[in-house]
Amino acid sequence: MKQLVVIIVSVLVPFIGFAQVMDDTDIKKLEKGEYNIEAGKIQVTFSDTVSPTFIEQKLDDLGYEILSSEIKNIVLSIENNPSPQQLKELEESEWVEFVMSEAAGNSDKEMEEINDSDTLGSDKVNQLLAKLTYSKEYEYVVVALTYNATEITVEDIKAAYPDLKFEVLQQSQRSAILKTEEDKELEAMDELKKLDFVKNTAMVGNLE
């Protein structure tokens, strides 16, 4: 069974990079040179801030077909308890695509008080509801950033909310496998590396 790997072409060092986690057997095969170059395919890694639409349009203009792509935005989690106001501010941020959260369960005592609301005045019921609404704890909070958000953006968000503990769940990633003419992979790589939105290029290989 073939496993797709990416071989970083380098004339200076005989190292091989690969695009997936492999076991010891696969690594030994790579060390022994037991891999085949995939003819007519190259991998291109793009700058973190370019949009998928921009990538597709530019590559189409140059006559390249995208065989597969990996486009991921930065995703954060909040490990402690944000206030509803903080969540609202994050949702409205120009750098945030969406915020997803799930509230932890309300206490049995609070729910019993609300269920027994026929014995309470309306003011007391409203106070309890307000308490549940504005004192929420969350099972999880996930913040997905926009495509043009960078590591600097993440640091700015952290600085804006010093009381919140942010963790990076997913780093930004922009890469694609492109179809090229066979035996012209290196020419295509040279052409693409000249583009300001391309970070690097690589040959593609497989292990048997």
Q: What is the pLDDT of residues 41-91, one digit of tens each?
A: 999 999 888 888 999 999 999 999 999 998 889 999 999 889 889 999 999
Give per-residue pLDDT as tens, 86-107.
999 999 999 999 998 876 554 4
Integer-rounded Cα Rg, in Å, for the chain is 25
What's phi and psi for 34, nearest 5 deg? -90, 65
Angle at 194 between CA 9 and CA 38, to 5 degrees: 35
d(CA 164, CA 183) in angstroms, rounded, equals 53
pLDDT of 207: 59
pLDDT of 161: 97
Domains recognised in the chain with CATH numbers: 3-71+172-207 (3.30.70), 75-170 (no CATH)
* Crossing angle of helices 122-134 and 108-115, rounded to 10°: 150
CB neighbours of 56 closer than 8 A, spacing ≥ 6?
66
Give per-residue pLDDT as tens, 164-183.
999 999 888 899 999 999 98
